[in-house]
Structure 1
């Protein structure tokens, strides 16, 4: 009998150890719960042409889940905006409610099931898809930038196609200005509201986006229309410059003088590594000096004003493209160092914990081992730190 008791106790001890071990493993990753994000909103932005959407997820599988979630929410909100009477029907007895966030908890649970969605395995699958130039077993900054850019462009084009379906009334694959219906907040807003009286929803913007001048926007041109910062079109870039002049020209003389440049544009284009930077600057000579140097460099005709043409060399800094954001994000991964001020001003979307870096040996390249050892650097835009202080990161919702 004693022999059997010993066997039973040993068996129970082994089972208990296994349970404790499993519980420990689960607890270790519990604070790393992956979340399905959504930055979708029908509310008007403060300044529509300066809004940069959250970065696309590093993993295309996560991005696809997020897109499906956002599409469902977009369809619901769009229908409600076009049919406000439906809100009354929603509360009627027997009415089936539209899908809510809880409907996507299964997908979120999938992302957090290590047997179904293993982050280590995912990185192993993604590594050879990123390591292409050349395929040498290392990820360079250039390869990471191209990967990030591909994911961002796919995200942007998806949203453009969704908007195309709404505005292409006759479904011919093109949008005329007559078909284009500006957002209701742009049509109904006070003309004195900042940003709303500009040309961002007007025919001049439409025509600048019409690269071939046929009076219609195809999907590529419409994408440029919605995201002018990413265009290669000289006509649209020139239009961006004209809009900046119009916006910064406080005395309405058609040009930007030094005072308007210093208080309206300089903080967007200056080098934030400068030791003398003070974001609340006045006319301190030490801060004004570099602004005067840059202003003089841009003022090609030396008349003391900046025209739209003279703004062209810095328009990509005023309106950063996806390429720019991708470079900044990947520099962070490679631990090249991005200051806190830059993180705030550039509105980087991937990372919230500056202590996480993937390039352990600091050789400027990433191996698969380094990625696996630091997996949540690549998934940090979509995980929740339950054990950290409760800071409201809107871009992670």
Structure 2
């Protein structure tokens, strides 16, 4: 009877074994996570799961790379194909840039996929202080990001303009005369008045002269950039020319001004700001937002612009 009582009081080994196994498995799992998720030095070879590709400028909605290093690599690819087509006397179809052959991108793709040579973490650390400038407070704001992206886009546009200028600059003096400029091949499919689909005279000599800020009869790089991208210009002479063209194209009664109907039917949706109070929902056919915008523009209140 005493032996039975002693056996009953003796603890079973089964719970102890189970607890030991659970602790061992938990320790092994934690060790696995620490080994595989802890930071390590960059490998000399590309990571098997890291595969980046440079984007050719032929994409319909080309986005400017955030990192200037990547932007420079993509420009080199685009320039090489541009030079190849120029040497062959060819041009990209329509308004699109030429596609970049796969073999041209191989070396650059290998570079950006080599974690030892192109470390993305280090690139972010290097770019951060260049973006955080207004003020430099160790925090990047939306406005600072917008300024960074806008500056990147301007560099891209100016680079393309320089390449375009070089193509038209036959005497290689760093500027373009109107006689040297030949409008893009895609523009010839529009009307006979040397204008775009809505009749705007983008390729006329008047447009060229308006972009010629110093009036010397030639366009330097800045002026030629304004000529190609007039919507982004700060040249007051060109802005005035743009306004005159807008009025001319929508002036149905040829009085040199726009009445409300001419403004509403042709210009209002081009000049309205969708984030201001005048841009209320007009899906019900109301012209109230247009009338408010018209009255703000009509400074002398004569009913004409």
Superposition TM-score, scaled by structure 2 size: 0.71
Check whether the contact 2:178–2:205 (CA below 8 A) recurs between aligned residues.
Answer: yes
1:202 aligns with 2:204: yes
Indicate the residue corresponding to 1:295 in structure 2: 294
Looking at structure 1, the residues matched to 240 and 113 of structure 2 have their Cα atoms a distance apart, in angstroms, of: 47
Indicate the residue corresponding to 2:65 in structure 1: 57
Indicate the residue corresponding to 1:94 in structure 2: none
Looking at structure 2, the residues matched to 78 and 246 of structure 1 have their Cα atoms a distance apart, in angstroms, of: 37
Indicate the residue corresponding to 2:3 in structure 1: none
1:230 aligns with 2:229: no
Pairwise CA RMSD: 3.5
Check whether the contact 1:250–1:260 (CA below 8 A) recurs between aligned residues.
Answer: yes
Q: Map residues 272-283 of structure 1 onto 2, 5 A cutoff.
A: 272-273=274-275, 276-277=280-281, 281=283
Residue 264 of structure 1 and its aligned partner are, at CA, apart by: 2.9
Check whether the contact 1:209–1:236 (CA below 8 A) recurs between aligned residues.
Answer: yes
Indicate the residue corresponding to 1:168 in structure 2: 169
Deviations 1:214-270 (A, max 9, x none): 111111111111122222211011111122223333555433332332233323333
Which one scores higher on RCO, CA 8 angstroms, separation ≥ 6? 1
Looking at structure 2, the residues matched to 257 and 81 of structure 1 have their Cα atoms a distance apart, in angstroms, of: 48
More displaced, 100-109 or 231-240? 100-109
Looking at structure 2, the residues matched to 178 and 217 of structure 1 have their Cα atoms a distance apart, in angstroms, of: 11
DSSP-derived class of the 2:192 partner: coil
- Structure whose alpha-carbon radius of gyration is higher: 2
Check 1:79–1:252 CA distance in 2 against 1; reply closer, same or farther (3 A cut): farther
1:72 aligns with 2:80: yes
Looking at structure 2, the residues matched to 215 and 290 of structure 1 have their Cα atoms a distance apart, in angstroms, of: 42
Aligned length: 257
Q: Map residues 17-56 of structure 1 onto 2, 5 A cutoff.
A: 21=36, 34-40=52-58, 54-56=62-64
Indicate the residue corresponding to 2:4 in structure 1: none
Residue 166 of structure 1 and its aligned partner are, at CA, apart by: 0.8
More displaced, 75-84 or 134-143? 75-84
Deviations 1:191-223 (A, max 9, x none): 388537421111101110111111111111111
Looking at structure 2, the residues matched to 242 and 40 of structure 1 have their Cα atoms a distance apart, in angstroms, of: 34
Indicate the residue corresponding to 1:304 in structure 2: 303
Check 1:198–1:69 CA distance in 2 against 1; reply closer, same or farther (3 A cut): same
Looking at structure 2, the residues matched to 208 and 260 of structure 1 have their Cα atoms a distance apart, in angstroms, of: 25
DSSP-derived class of the 1:129 partner: helix
Residue 21 of structure 1 and its aligned partner are, at CA, apart by: 4.9
Superposition TM-score, scaled by structure 1 size: 0.56
Indicate the residue corresponding to 2:258 in structure 1: 256
Indicate the residue corresponding to 1:152 in structure 2: 153
Indicate the residue corresponding to 2:218 in structure 1: 216
Looking at structure 2, the residues matched to 257 and 38 of structure 1 have their Cα atoms a distance apart, in angstroms, of: 46
Check 1:102–1:208 CA distance in 2 against 1; reply closer, same or farther (3 A cut): same
Indicate the residue corresponding to 1:104 in structure 2: 105
Check whether the contact 1:190–1:196 (CA below 8 A) recurs between aligned residues.
Answer: no
Check whether the contact 2:66–2:152 (CA below 8 A) recurs between aligned residues.
Answer: yes
- Runs of at least 5 residues in structure 1 that lack an aligned partner in the other structure: 1-12, 23-27, 46-52, 85-97, 307-397
Deviations 1:153-202 (A, max 9, x none): 21111111101111111011121111111112324533388537421111
Residue 124 of structure 1 and its aligned partner are, at CA, apart by: 0.3
- Runs of at least 5 residues in structure 2 that lack an aligned partner in the other structure: 1-27, 38-46, 93-98
Indicate the residue corresponding to 1:91 in structure 2: none
Indicate the residue corresponding to 1:184 in structure 2: 185
Deviations 1:293-313 (A, max 9, x none): 11011112333232xxxxxxx
Q: Map residues 4-23 of structure 1 onto 2, 5 A cutoff.
A: 21=36
Check whether the contact 2:77–2:100 (CA below 8 A) recurs between aligned residues.
Answer: no
